């Protein structure tokens, strides 16, 4: 299978988009809606359980066609086939990226489910991990915690206070400590695991999820669940890394979560590019970053259950696509991942939305709406409209005017449950993959993380 690894700037569609963008720099969203009564309906992509309204992005039908042409010229369909075929597309580590396989069947595995059923007497799970070993499972549990039968607390920080708070009020005999680390060498996780093991004092349970069973057994783990080496940490929420959520929420909820991911996998593989929801998320992002000059991107979930989504996305997007060289090691002459940030609405409206509406930087935004309440829906819609259309009242003093013309999309979930959460996370995973293909970068390594770890080890070893 021959895959395109040439620079995107050499694609005819890239040059066309650069010229096309010139006509959009001064275009006004208010004028676009006034001149096209069908715009709100035309610029919507649908997938199982999700709908993406990108009508308030500064783009038109030709923009979408050119972006889809760019994806075709980049060989996206071939790359997609390679991803699902398990080809070693992570070239710097000579590995496949087979996380979608975890959604294809019983990802947790019979052993994990049997262990989850044997939680009698366990009142709290203390989940130890950092990065993808913690962010995904914490998001999954936090989003659905009202249906949890066991309390789960998380500790990711090397600061001892993090673990102390996770253990606060627990009794060793009724506590399960779960250490999640693919290599079982992560310094923060092992430090917390040692302290938690001492706290257990031979009571309770100590389990591990890792690809290094020997190290986990030597450490004293009573049960070890496998974590495949072809699953990157930030893509591991579908795996045994989420054992704590599986045990707390139950098999039914976890299976529904996987099913939601499968729904999007099927849509991603089958839908035409111009109607493919994850592809459009990616294409709109590339348009904003590379052709309209956006340097940051804001994600605003209007649901308290999704309050941890921005943190999960920060790792997913910036660790995957925060790269400065292409697949051949050449320095890039174009931007890749924007800085991603955000917080839950409506509290964020009373924090940083001032900058979104009246600041000097234009920040594209995703509003995530999940049918929580009419009040939340109204607030999200109002914020998106205000960004797009501003005030338009010249009689207002300058400090009260909002310029509008600031792009945003609304991503709607039919409802907020395990299945739709799975669909949401899988959609963003595929967005990241598509953008990596378009930018000709490897989305599945993270060498920039390693230097700081090594220096910290050296400092500790030398004592200075």
What residues act catalytically?
319, 350, 453
Tell me which residue of 224, 175, 226 sits closest to 197, measured CA to CA. Answer: 175
Tell me which residue of 175, 96, 174 sits closest to 128, measured CA to CA. Answer: 175
- Taking CA atoms, 137 is separated from 134, 208, 272, 380, 417, in Å, by 6, 14, 32, 27, 15
- Return the structure tokens found at 115: 């262990």
């Amino acid at each position: 299978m021959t895959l395109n690894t040439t620079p995107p700037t050499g694609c005819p569609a890239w040059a066309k988009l650069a010229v096309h963008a010139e006509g959009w720099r001064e275009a006004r969203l208010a004028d676009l809606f006034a001149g096209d009564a069908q715009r709100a309906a035309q610029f919507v992509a649908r997938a199982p359980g999700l709908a993406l309204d990108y009508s308030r992005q500064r783009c038109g039908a030709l923009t979408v066609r050119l972006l889809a042409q760019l994806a075709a010229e980049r060989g996206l369909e071939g790359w997609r086939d390679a991803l699902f075929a398990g080809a070693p597309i992570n070239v710097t580590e000579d590995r496949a990226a087979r996380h979608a396989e975890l959604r294809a069947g019983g990802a947790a595995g019979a052993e994990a489910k049997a262990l989850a059923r044997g939680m009698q007497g366990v009142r709290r799970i203390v989940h130890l991990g950092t990065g993808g070993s913690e962010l995904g499972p914490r998001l999954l549990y936090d989003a659905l915690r009202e249906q949890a039968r066991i309390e789960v607390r998380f500790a990711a920080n090397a600061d001892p206070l993090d673990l102390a708070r996770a253990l606060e009020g627990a009794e060793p005999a009724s506590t399960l400590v779960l250490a999640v680390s693919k290599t079982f060498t992560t310094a923060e996780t092992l430090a917390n695991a040692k302290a938690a093991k001492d706290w257990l004092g031979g009571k309770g349970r100590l389990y591990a999820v890792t690809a290094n069973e020997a190290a986990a057994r030597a450490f004293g783990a009573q049960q070890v669940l496998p974590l495949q080496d072809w699953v990157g940490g930030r893509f591991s929420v579908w795996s045994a890394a989420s054992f704590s959520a599986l045990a707390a929420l139950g098999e039914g909820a976890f299976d529904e979560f996987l099913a939601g991911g499968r729904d999007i996998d099927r849509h991603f593989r089958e839908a035409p590019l111009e109607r493919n929801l994850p592809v459009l998320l990616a294409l709109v992002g590339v348009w904003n970053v590379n052709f309209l000059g956006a340097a940051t991107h804001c994600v605003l979930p209007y649901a308290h259950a999704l309050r941890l989504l921005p943190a999960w996305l920060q790792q997913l997007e910036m660790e995957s696509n925060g790269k400065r060289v292409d697949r051949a090691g050449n320095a890039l002459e174009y931007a890749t991942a924007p800085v991603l940030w955000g917080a839950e609405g409506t509290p964020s409206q009373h924090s940083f939305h001032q900058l979104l509406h009246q600041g000097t930087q234009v920040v594209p935004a995703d509003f995530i709406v999940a049918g929580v309440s009419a009040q939340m829906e109204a607030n999200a819609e109002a914020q998106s409209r205000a960004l797009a259309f501003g005030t338009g009242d010249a009689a207002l003093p300058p400090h009260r005017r909002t310029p509008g013309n600031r792009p945003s999309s609304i991503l709607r979930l039919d409802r907020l449950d395990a299945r739709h959460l799975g669909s949401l996370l899988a959609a963003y995973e595929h967005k990241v993959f598509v953008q990596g293909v378009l930018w000709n970068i490897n989305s599945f390594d993270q060498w920039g993380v390693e230097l700081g770890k090594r220096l910290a080890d050296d400092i500790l070893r030398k004592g200075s």
